[in-house]
Chains A and B, each alone.
Chain A
Amino acid sequence: MANSDTPLLDELEKGRWPSFVKDIKQAAQKSPMAEDLLRQLELSYKDKIGHWKHGGIVGVKGYGAGVIGRYSDRPDLFPNVQAFHTMRVNHPTGWFYKTDTLRKLCDIWDKHGSSLTNMHGATGDVILLGTKTEHLQPCFNDLSDAGFDLGGSGSALRTPSACVGPARCEWACIDSLDICYNLTMTYQDQIHRPMFPYKFKIKVSACANDCVASIARSDFSIIGTWKGDILIDQKEALAYASTIDIQKEVCDLCPTRCMEWNGKELKIWNEDCTRCMHCINLMPKALRPGKEKGATILVGGKAPIVQGALLSWVIVPFMKLEPPYTELKDLIERIQDWWDENGKSRERLGELITRLGMRVFLKAVGLPAVPQMVKAPRTNPYVFFWPEDIKKEVK
């Protein structure tokens, strides 16, 4: 057998977990781009360094987003990936597919690109991994004809994403899919034409289990919740007693200790419940979210760059969310206007609020201060007052 060109990567074809190296090799059978990608990656494994240069400005007509420019720093060795740009294709909400749709996507990408993809990228898009500059527009044309569109990139609204929601989940307190799709369609301009100080992410989870990590990685987090009592089916609760230790596994792990199991009946002091989902997660047949459903709105979540990672902060404890979502969109737009007006270049919403103060933010977007917004009131005495709170004339 001839010696392989890629002895290091070949090691990663071994083992039980599916191998990305096999996929690159499969694509390399038909795409010279994928073949050079494989060889360049082998060089990275040897050199312990990446071999991609900064992206240049490339794109498709009418859009400023959706394409990430990428160039090899060794075009002398790997001419087929001299330019190897990513296209982000907005996924169907909830990542649901019929196979004919996926096959269309594959055919287009075999025609125009490397035959390699990510299903999916971190933000949610289908990532079409690498093509040449001259293929971008024809590829987009074919994608558009087949009913696809590009997602966001750069200082734009990034492709919103949502958990599986009411399509499959009994815990969904909001229609995360419809909200996400509606916002995506409403804000096409913001997704495709970067117009903000930096990226802006919206993610929708239909309950507090937060399957799309909305609280950790979106500037605007929408998380389903409810008001009123958890619905209990006592017969089903009793049935769970044969498989789990209800007092120990459910009641004792409740963060507010608002539940009690006497061996026959589950009692919940609902006024103390903080709707964390633990009991419902463990006993889905017996317990269901309360009847009045809506969402908690939080803002500011982000990864570390620039000023450190943030988890989103509660700004609206409860909002009913029903089409056409006017109240929600008004709030998003008021927030984006304030951020756009005040934010510095590459300053995320959470960082701007940190810099200017939650007090200033709340006033600007017209939200009242409520105790649900804080873990505790301030401990320092450095309190600001608004000029209008102070009597002007000294007696």
Chain B
Amino acid sequence: MAKTDIGPPDYKTMLPPVIERNYGKWLYHEILQPGVLVHIAQSGEALYSVRAGSPRLVSTDHIREICDIAEKYCDGYLRFTSRHNIEFLLDNKDKIEPLIDELKSRGYPVGGTGHAVTNIVHTQGWVHCHTPATDASGPVKALMDEIYDYFTTMKLPNHVRISLACCLNMCGAIHCSDIAILGIHRTVPKTDNTRVPNVCEIPSTVASCPTGAIRGDMKNKTLTVNDEKCMYCGNCYTVCPAMPIADPDNDGISIWVGGKVSNARSAPKFSKLAIPFLPNNPPRWPEVVDAVKNILEVYASHARKHERVGEWIERVGWERFFSLTGIPFTDQHIDDFDLAVDTFRTSTQFKWR
């Protein structure tokens, strides 16, 4: 019988000796070039981190290749970041350039540090999820191909955190990203009355609806959906498999902007709706790629140094954001959920464009 509840391997056994010696005693760091950090300890010792991009969905052979590289240059020590990058950890400065050369020759992008686009946090999509409104890895790959140079350089006003979730469940909590790409459904779930009695618990399905659109039909042991109230979140489907919501003709992607997690300067904030709907157009989602690239480039050319996307928009105003990006403003942009009125303008101070 296997041992249970042993917990994960102790991280202390995974730390390179230079970290063990200087744990908690770091003095400062610098970014030597895109993708290369140096941390200097009180002892004077240096730790170099070389950051490389990853598709996140990786095969065991790909992991072994990463291991080969880490063994060749880093005595077998590496880590992954909270945004799915790989970091090779070294204490020998002379090995940095050969390591980067090898990474580049094997097709690894080196970068993602400082004022750059770093790796896109994303979900499973059609690869492995039962509720997606779009794929995840595909749009991410298509977009990163297009904005690759923003990963390998540091020429933006500040960090740009891009995230993608393939439905409103938002595994990965993308709702506070500079640019969030969110899969959405746009049609009501199709209740399968023959299956509901066997596979669904009616009270919990009713309770799952944020807008109270679902009612129990106890006589027929099924459920009814008020189409007017449904905003297609798919939460009922999570609870009740007999209410499928995916719709190939109407599912797609929405774009949200201006969120941040860090407390630096301005408080953490949610991303706000920029584009309510773009079509699913595999394999390369050109509409989505163009839209994100446009927002990124308008930000890059208009924001002041150190302004995050949301800070820039708040300074110039949302009316200016829409006019600069050329994104049409629609009634979908005006909130109608709880606390919606908090977002309505209650002053006569605004810009014409």
Residues of A within 8 A of B (CB): 8-9, 11-12, 14-21, 23-24, 26-27, 34, 37, 41, 44-45, 47-55, 60-63, 70, 84, 86, 89-103, 105-107, 109-110, 115-124, 129-130, 140-141, 143-145, 147-149, 161, 163-164, 166-170, 172, 175, 177, 181, 184-185, 188-189, 192, 208-213, 215-217, 223, 249, 253-255, 275-278, 281-282, 284-285, 301-309, 311, 344-346
Is B67 a contact partner of A119 (Cβ separation < 8 A)? no
Q: Top 6 closest A-B pairs, CB basis?
A: A15-B145, A217-B173, A122-B172, A17-B144, A166-B24, A208-B263
Is B175 a contact partner of A144 (Cβ separation < 8 A)? no
Is A19 a contact partner of B62 (Cβ separation < 8 A)? no
Q: Counting chain A CB atoms within 10 Å of each CB, which of B19, B59, B173, B266 scores highest?
A: B59
**Which A-chain residue is minimally distant from B7 (CB atoms)?**
A185
A-side contacts of B107, CB under 8 Å: 18
Is A19 a contact partner of B169 (Cβ separation < 8 A)? no
Is B57 a contact partner of A122 (Cβ separation < 8 A)? no
**Residues A54 and B241 in contact in the complex (CB < 8 Å), given A18-B55, A18-B108, A62-B4:** yes
**Residues A345 and B207 in contact in the complex (CB < 8 Å), given A53-B241, A97-B78:** yes
**Residues A17 and B60 in contact in the complex (CB < 8 Å), given A169-B26, A209-B262, A346-B207:** no
**B 186-207 binary contact with A (CB < 8 Å = 1; else 0):** 0000000000000000001001
B168 at the interface (CB under 8 A from A): yes
B276 at the interface (CB under 8 A from A): no
Is B14 a contact partner of A101 (Cβ separation < 8 A)? yes
A173 to chain B, nearest CB (A): 11
Is B130 a contact partner of A70 (Cβ separation < 8 A)? yes
A53 to chain B, nearest CB (A): 6
A-side contacts of B262, CB under 8 Å: 208-210, 277
B13 at the interface (CB under 8 A from A): yes
A196 to chain B, nearest CB (A): 15
Is B24 a contact partner of A175 (Cβ separation < 8 A)? yes
**Which A-chain residue is minimally distant from B86 (CB atoms)?**
A119
A369 to chain B, nearest CB (A): 21
Is B59 a contact partner of A26 (Cβ separation < 8 A)? yes
Is B284 a contact partner of A12 (Cβ separation < 8 A)? yes
CA distance A207 to B109 in the complex (A): 28
Q: Out of A9, A94, A118, which one reaches B56, CB within 8 Å? A: A118
Task: Contacts A116-B57, A129-B127 known; list 4 others, CB within 8 Å.
Answer: A91-B8, A170-B39, A213-B176, A249-B306
**Residues A90 and B248 in contact in the complex (CB < 8 Å), given A213-B176, A305-B168:** no
Q: Which of B46-54, B217-225, B291-299, B345-353 contacts A (4 or more CB under 8 A)?
A: B46-54
A198 to chain B, nearest CB (A): 11
CA distance A48 to B49 in the complex (A): 40
B329 at the interface (CB under 8 A from A): no
Is A140 a contact partner of B265 (Cβ separation < 8 A)? no
**Which B-chain residue is minimally distant from A275 (CB atoms)?**
B263
Is B128 a contact partner of A70 (Cβ separation < 8 A)? yes
Is A122 a contact partner of B171 (Cβ separation < 8 A)? yes
B153 to chain A, nearest CB (A): 13
A-side contacts of B8, CB under 8 Å: 89-93, 148-149, 181, 184
Is B141 a contact partner of A20 (Cβ separation < 8 A)? yes
Q: Out of B4, B59, B61, B125, which one reaches A144, CB within 8 Å? A: B4
Which residues from 1 to 44 on chain B have a C-beta closer than 8 Å to any C-beta of chain A? 1-11, 13-15, 19, 23-24, 26-30, 39
List 16 A–B pairs whose Cβ atoms lie within 8 Å, in order of A's numbering. Answer: A8-B283, A41-B135, A86-B128, A98-B76, A101-B14, A102-B67, A115-B59, A119-B54, A122-B172, A144-B2, A161-B82, A168-B26, A181-B10, A216-B173, A304-B175, A346-B204
B-side contacts of A223, CB under 8 Å: 263
B-side contacts of A106, CB under 8 Å: 60-61, 63-64
Is A307 a contact partner of B210 (Cβ separation < 8 A)? yes
Is B268 a contact partner of A306 (Cβ separation < 8 A)? no
CA distance A307 to B233 in the complex (A): 11
**Which A-chain residue is minimally distant from B248 (CB atoms)?**
A48
B113 at the interface (CB under 8 A from A): no
CA distance A368 to B7 in the complex (A): 35
B-side contacts of A148, CB under 8 Å: 8-9
Q: Counting chain A CB atoms within 10 Å of each CB, which of B57, B60, B145, B284 scores highest?
A: B60
CA distance A84 to B263 in the complex (A): 40
CA distance A223 to B125 in the complex (A): 31
